[in-house]
Amino acid sequence: MLALTLLVVSIAIADSVNPSTVVPALWQAGAPRGRGLVSFTLGVFLVYLAGGVVLAFGPGPALIGVLHHIGGTLEHVLEAAGGIAALALAVMLWRSRRRIHAETRLRRCNTRTSAFTLGAGIMAVELPTAFMYFGAISAILSAHAVAVLRLSLLVTYNALFVAPLVAILAIRLLAGERGDRWLGAGERWLRGAGPVVMAGAVTAAGTALVAIGVTGLIAL
């Protein structure tokens, strides 16, 4: 299971470089003592984890079983199709890089409830296109991991996914005025480079899925 854990960890780290969560967190950190950032992070974590739990303990195992029962052809076709979808998402991210950079700043959430709602809402919108997350869940299910291991891997994935947000909070609370300058510079950089980094990560994941699917089809 070490290989599975390393795979899940590597995907989670790549997935965590997500402008949709990090940019709002950087902006929210500009509030006094980062007010609302903890709630925002909690909203992101809980909704993303809940989506993974639903898949891993709901229809996910049944879908994996159906694929194995039908045979390898459909499974490899779906892998290739998922890779193509991921590559299409990467193209969209690349094309949107200037628009994201030019967007006006987000309005800070002034209450814990509004900050939590913002984080939860972002992830609810992101989930249908969370191809890297789906890939990690598929790997967990294909390994036929026991329920406890499945849950622990999902928690680990989501803890790593929000690690940049926790780091932002730590900088905000501990670094004082220097932290404000660092966070401001980080926000400006991420608005410009974040979509490019994300596009690169999604491209790598999509290419791997296409390669796995096509190689599997050729081998049949």
Task: Specify the pLDDT at position 103.
Answer: 46
Is 217 a residue whose pLDDT tops 50?
A: yes
pTM over 0.85: no
Which comes out higher in pLDDT, residue 171 or 146?
A: 146
Q: Please state, rounded to an integer, the average pLDDT across all residues of the chain.
A: 76
Is 14 a residue whose pLDDT tops 80?
A: yes
Task: Specify the pLDDT at position 148.
Answer: 94
pLDDT band at 162 (very low <50, low <70, confident <90, very high): very high
Q: Is 200 helix (H, G, I), strand (E, B) or coil?
A: helix
Contacts of range 213-217, beta carbons closer than 8 Å, 24 or more positions apart: 213/76, 213/77, 213/78, 213/79, 213/80, 213/81, 213/82, 213/83, 214/76, 214/80, 216/72, 216/75, 216/76, 216/79, 217/73, 217/76, 217/77, 217/80
Q: Is 96 helix (H, G, I), strand (E, B) or coil?
A: coil
Q: What's the residue count for the chain? A: 220
Of the CA atoms within 13 Å of residue 35, those in its CB half-sphere come to 9
Task: Specify the pLDDT at position 183.
Answer: 62
Task: Specify the pLDDT at position 68.
Answer: 53
Task: Specify the pLDDT at position 189.
Answer: 61
pLDDT band at 192 (very low <50, low <70, confident <90, very high): low
Q: For residue 183, which of 26, 57, 35, 43 has the smallest C-alpha distance?
A: 26
Task: For residues 114-134, give the mean pLDDT.
Answer: 85
pLDDT band at 88 (very low <50, low <70, confident <90, very high): confident
Sequence-ordered strand ranges (E) for 33-159: none
**Per-residue tokens: 109:** 């959430």
Which comes out higher in pLDDT, residue 36 or 54?
A: 54
Task: For residues 18-40, give the mean pLDDT.
Answer: 76
Whether the CB-CB separation of 28 and 141 falls below 8 Å is answered with: no
Is 51 a residue whose pLDDT tops 70?
A: yes
